[in-house]
Amino acid sequence: MRQIYPVAGPDLQVIPRAAAGPLPDAVARLAHLYGNGAAANAVVPPRHGRLRANMVASADGAVTLAGRSGGLSGPADKMIFTVLRSLADLILVGAGTARTEHYRPVQQEETWLQLRPAGAPLPPIAVVTGTLDLSNCEGLLTVPPGPSQTIVITTAAAPADRKAALAGKARVIEAGEYAVDVRTAVQALAGLGYSSILTEGGPTLLGELIAAGLLDELCLTTSPQLAAGPAGRIASGPPATQGLSLGHALVDGDFLLCRYLSG
Ligand X SMILES: NC(=O)c1ccc[n+]([C@@H]2O[C@H](COP(=O)([O-])OP(=O)(O)OC[C@H]3O[C@@H](n4cnc5c(N)ncnc54)[C@H](OP(=O)(O)O)[C@@H]3O)[C@@H](O)[C@H]2O)c1
Which is closer to ligand X, CB of 19 or CB of 141?
A: 141
- Using alpha carbons, list the distances in angstroms from residue 217 to 23, 147, 171: 25, 25, 27
Which is closer to ligand X, CB of 203 or CB of 247?
A: 203
**Pattern 15-44, binding to ligand X, x per CB under 6 A?**
------------------------------
Q: Using alpha carbons only, how large is the chain's radius of gyration in Å?
A: 18
Q: State which of residues 204, 225, 242, 245 lies at the interface with ligand X (CB under 6 A).
A: 204
| β-strand partners of 37 | none
130 lies in the site for ligand X, by CB under 6 A: yes
Burial 185-195 (b: 16+ CB within 10 A, else e): bbebbbeeebe
Which is closer to ligand X, CB of 113 or CB of 141?
A: 141
**Pattern 50-69, binding to ligand X, x per CB under 6 A?**
-----xxx-----xx--xxx
Give the shortest CB-137-to-ligand X separation in angstroms.
Answer: 11
Which is closer to ligand X, CB of 55 or CB of 83?
A: 55
Q: How far apart are the first and last CA of the chain?
A: 27
Give the shortest CB-20-to-ligand X separation in angstroms.
Answer: 28
CA proximity to 152, closest of 127, 119, 120: 127
Q: Is 196 helix (H, G, I), strand (E, B) or coil?
A: strand
Footprint on residues 162-181 left by ligand X (CB under 6 A): 179-180
Distance separating alpha carbons of residues 91 and 169, to the nearest angstrom: 17
CA proximity to 258, closest of 231, 222, 225: 222
> Can you give the binding site for ligand X, defined by CB under 6 A?
55-57, 63-64, 67-69, 72, 93-97, 100-101, 128-131, 133, 179-180, 200-205, 208, 236
